[in-house]
């Protein structure tokens, strides 16, 4: 499995810590190849990472910005992405297990050790495997594809 990671200028330090942590745990981590500067814009990173994850290679994504909200909103505009903003491990696990999230967005101001726990939880949590979670996730996917039949 490949893990893509990107951040805006506010998340550079946390991204470095998380990337090192994941590599030390034997994961294939790839940074999005956009340069950070004080003038960078989070949507550029979210869109580029989203396209990589949505390409269908069974990958996951990690986005970091000031508080994770902007990245989450932008990433969710990419077809095939279900991004959850997580501030704790419960958000990470339920976002993936209940909602089929394939990208996680976290805030740059979060404690480094907590961020690592959130990311680890996200990566190790299984995708939806209970019928009602699968059904709900499929409704979101179908809506995105223009195939949803409203009740």
Asked whether residue 38 is assigned to any structural domain, the reply reads yes
The residue from 7, 9, 21, 65 that is catalytic is: 65
b/e per residue, 59-78, with b = 16+ CB within 10 A?
bbbbbbbbbbebbbebbbeb
Asked whether residue 151 is assigned to any structural domain, the reply reads no
21 as an active site residue: the answer is no
Task: Specify the number of domains making up the chain.
Answer: 1
- Expressed as residue numbers, the domain containing 125 is 2-144
Q: Which two tokens stand for residue 120?
A: 């680890």
Q: Predicted confidence band at 42 (pLDDT cuts at 50, 70, 90)? A: very high
98 as an active site residue: the answer is yes
The predicted-structure confidence for 53-111, as pLDDT tens digits, reads as follows: 999 888 999 999 999 999 999 999 999 999 999 999 999 999 999 999 999 999 999 99
Look up the CATH number of the domain holding residue 54: 3.40.1400.10
Nearest to 94 by CA among 65, 118, 61, 115: 118
Asked whether residue 149 is assigned to any structural domain, the reply reads no
Asked whether residue 116 is assigned to any structural domain, the reply reads yes
Considering the entire predicted model, what is its pTM? 0.94
Asked whether residue 65 is assigned to any structural domain, the reply reads yes
């Amino acid at each position: 499995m490949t893990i893509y990671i990107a951040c805006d200028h506010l998340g550079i330090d946390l991204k470095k810590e998380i990337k090192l942590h994941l590599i030390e745990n034997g994961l294939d981590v790839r940074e999005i190849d956009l340069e950070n500067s004080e003038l960078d814009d989070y949507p550029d990173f979210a869109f580029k990472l989203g396209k990589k994850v949505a390409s269908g290679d069974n990958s996951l994504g990690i986005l970091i910005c000031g508080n994770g909200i902007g990245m989450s909103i932008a990433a969710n505009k990419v077809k095939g992405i279900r991004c959850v903003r997580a501030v704790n491990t419960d958000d990470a696990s339920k976002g993936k297990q209940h909602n089929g999230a394939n990208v996680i967005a976290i805030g740059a101001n979060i404690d480094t050790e907590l961020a690592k726990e959130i990311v680890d939880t996200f990566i190790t949590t299984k995708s939806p495997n209970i019928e009602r979670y699968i059904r709900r996730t499929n409704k979101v996917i179908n809506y995105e594809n223009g195939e949803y039949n409203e009740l």
